[in-house]
Amino acid sequence: MSVEQIATSLPIISGKSTPQHPLGPLTASEIKESSRLIKSAWPSDVNIQFKSITLQEPQKAELLHFLAAEHSGQATPTIERRSFVVYYLRNTDKLHEAVVSLSAGKVESNLRLGPNVHSNADGDEIIAVERIALEDEKVQAEIKKLQLPEGTVVISDPWIYGSDGINEGLFSDDKRMFQCFLYVRDPNNSSQADSNHYAMPLSISPVVSAETMRVTRIDILPTGIDNTIKEPSPYKVQPPNEYIHEAQELRTDLKPLNVVQPEGASFKVSNYSEQGHNIEWQKWTFKVGFNQREGMVLYDVHYDGRPLFYRLSLSDMNIPYADPRHPFHKKAAFDLGDAGAGIMANNLQLGCDCLGSIHYLSAVLNDDKGEPLDMPNCVCIHEQDNGIGWKHTNYRTGRAAVVRNRELVLQSIITVSNYEYILAFMFNQAGEVTYEVRATGILSTQPIDEGISVPFGTVVHPGVLAVHHQHIFSLRVDPMIDGPLNRVVYDEAHAMPRSDFNPHGVGYTVSETPITTSGGYDLDYDVNRTFKIQNSAIKNPINGKPVAYKIHAPPFQKMLADPQSYHHKRAEFADHNIYVTSYRDDELYAGGKYTNQSRGGTGVRSWADRKDDVQDQDIVVWVQFGINHVPRIEDFPVMPCEILKVSLKPVNFFERNPAIDVPPSTQTFNKSVLASVAHQQEVGEAVVGGDGECCVRESSKL
């Protein structure tokens, strides 16, 4: 009997785990049990390479009953606990996905996936590929031609190989591969492990097979204005361009800005399972989970007891590059599907990544051997002041009524080789939720001959080219606006024609159009097109309009690659601002479940093409946003944060401003000081005009 046949006829193995909440991330013991059950299905000499062991979320129909009972204080139904396991037989192309019943202690299903389906890279694998590329004799022979100064350290950056459909000998994207880009540390400071090697790229690019873990070919990169390839020749050492603090002349006139909450934070954190957390803050309640691919996931989001969202997560991102030359034409990263936002999450540091009164959440994921992997401090929770929330001054009396806009922030930071993404869900007191992405880190660079420029990139340092690229994100919104059956509509503003009623031609109206079938839809700023998620069955008691949340998303240039290109085929979400699909349990990732060297046809564009009925149904809304990053020299050696935000805001959901009951902003509460004399004051003393209640007294007395 073959090992594949053994795996599809697995015995029930005892070892039931402690009951957990159906939405609770897997515990360390559940990860180990899942790994054990998978390994036990194979002969003992079979080496398993685990890619992901994560929660198999229950069917939504089951969970809605569970959550309804939980919220009403009734007994909750029993839901079987399962894990979803993705693994290879190590050093083969035999990729499997399995569902493990942790409740029953058995493997329920095990499927070997077909050709052109590849899983994500893992940390141990990346490190191994780096080493293999640099130890290869042929690679060393090419490096020798550069005549690098003695002691120079060469660095390898493995990239997911990408797809171009070419299958000719060594130039094949059928098998899982890594394309390695080589750099050197500053030869004059080669012992500095944090030296910015991206300022010193080389023209040698080994390709490593993920199956054999050997170099299969060596590409020589074009460094001119066209496809011309030149043999490696003596390397000209350029001046370094470092980002680390000790390499700078730091400013000396910056004084401390401390975020102090003397009575502690206003939010509450509790556990709904061993690894899952409940958050309560300013009428908001929701659950926080964490997994290998998406990182932070929010479930069961309510405001003031009313349901808003069943599930919120960053579903996908794609970064296609603009250089059309081999091998750069394949360069298009899917950072979540190719690696994982969870597994790449930073260990956040107090006072560095998060300021104020901080609560950290940690997680447990898995390594390639199926063992638990601790992810400490991968989410930080804190409050921040974001200016004025609302204000009005009665000019007749001079009295000002004003409140501050306090926000709750849940933040995670991921490092994807050279790039960092700071990812945050932000809640305010007016019933609004924002998803924010801050892109920073270091540009992905490549060598360029001195004295030339190309139209698809920017020279950011002598001999260093940063190619234009796009960052396209997809936020998955599983709405539950006052109930599970929702619709998406869009408003448009149009000028009234001149008439007896509108003789001066100044009138305009707003019309509303429902989306009835699944598909991709776009913003149109010329008519102020605004998408809203509605519950048409629930009407606002004041104006009779359906309760809704509108989507505020920034404009972005859609995927620039040709529609027939693999870039376009693979990033199925990158061609529309909004996708609306009918809900299906296994459709979580806009680019498809397996993005590594994918071919397309398994993501949100394909699901939308079903043309399902999405009017007053259980729907999913996919919100795309991004930037076309045309690098500036100011983006190097490290990039100032580029900030993107998507907001979900109530429309006719409340009977008035939901932040009307926020306490007033007062000097007694805020304890601000006058900058000109602040240094003269003792700790804890405040300097104000008037009696300290300036924010609610007559403005003429401030």
The residue annotated as part of the active site, out of 335, 338, 368, 482, is 335
137-144 and 123-135 helices, crossing angle to 10°: 60
Q: Which tokens hold the place of 379?
A: 């989410």
Nearest C-alpha neighbor of 173 from the set 337, 327, 338, 368: 327
Round to whole Å and give the CA distance between 398 and 402.
Answer: 13
Nearest C-alpha neighbor of 577 from the set 472, 501, 461, 453: 472
Q: Is 353 a catalytic residue?
A: no
CB 37 within 8 A of CB 13: yes
Q: What is the DSSP string of 499-567?
A: -SSSTTS--EEEEEEE--B-EEE---TTTT-EEEEEEEEEE-TTT-PEEEEEEE----PPP-S-TTSHH
Round to whole Å and give the CA distance between 688 and 578.
Answer: 49
Half-sphere exposure of residue 311: CA atoms within 13 angstroms, side-chain side? 28
Half-sphere exposure of residue 483: CA atoms within 13 angstroms, side-chain side? 13
Round to whole Å and give the CA distance between 319 and 595.
Answer: 12
Q: Is 198 a catalytic residue?
A: no
End-to-end CA distance of the chain: 86
Round to whole Å and give the CA distance between 84 and 52.
Answer: 8
Phi, psi (rounded to 5 degrees) for 643: -110, 130
Round to whole Å and give the CA distance between 397 and 377.
Answer: 50
User: Which one-letter DSSP state was computed for residue 577?
Assistant: S
Q: Is 278 helix (H, G, I), strand (E, B) or coil?
A: strand
Round to whole Å and give the CA distance between 466 and 419.
Answer: 13
CB 570 within 8 A of CB 561: no
Torsion sign, CA atoms 258, 262, 263, 269: positive
Q: In DSSP terms, which residues pair with 639 in a beta bridge?
A: 441
Exposure class string for 518-556: b at 16+ Cβ within 10 A, else e = bbbbebeeeeebbbbbbbbebeeeeeeebbbbbbebeeb
Round to whole Å and give the CA distance between 315 and 295.
Answer: 10
Three-state SS sequence of 628-690: EECCCHHHCCCEEEEEEEEEEEEECCCCCCCCCCCCCCCHHHHCCCCCCCHHHCCCCCCCCCC
CB 523 within 8 A of CB 625: no
**H or E stretch covering 494:** strand 487-495
Phi, psi (rounded to 5 degrees) for 246: -70, -10
The residue annotated as part of the active site, out of 183, 303, 419, 589, is 419
Q: Which residues contact 667 (CB under 8 A, 6 or more apart)?
A: 686, 688, 692, 693, 694, 695
Pairing of strands 530-539, 487-495: antiparallel
Q: Which residues contact 623 (CB under 8 A, 6 or more apart)?
A: 474, 475, 477, 551, 553, 577, 578, 646
User: Which one-letter DSSP state was computed for residue 186?
Assistant: -
Round to whole Å and give the CA distance between 289 and 56.
Answer: 13
Respond yes or no on whether the N-terminal peptide bond of residue 479 is cis (omega within 30° of 0).
no
User: Which residues are part of the catalytic machinery?
Assistant: 335, 419
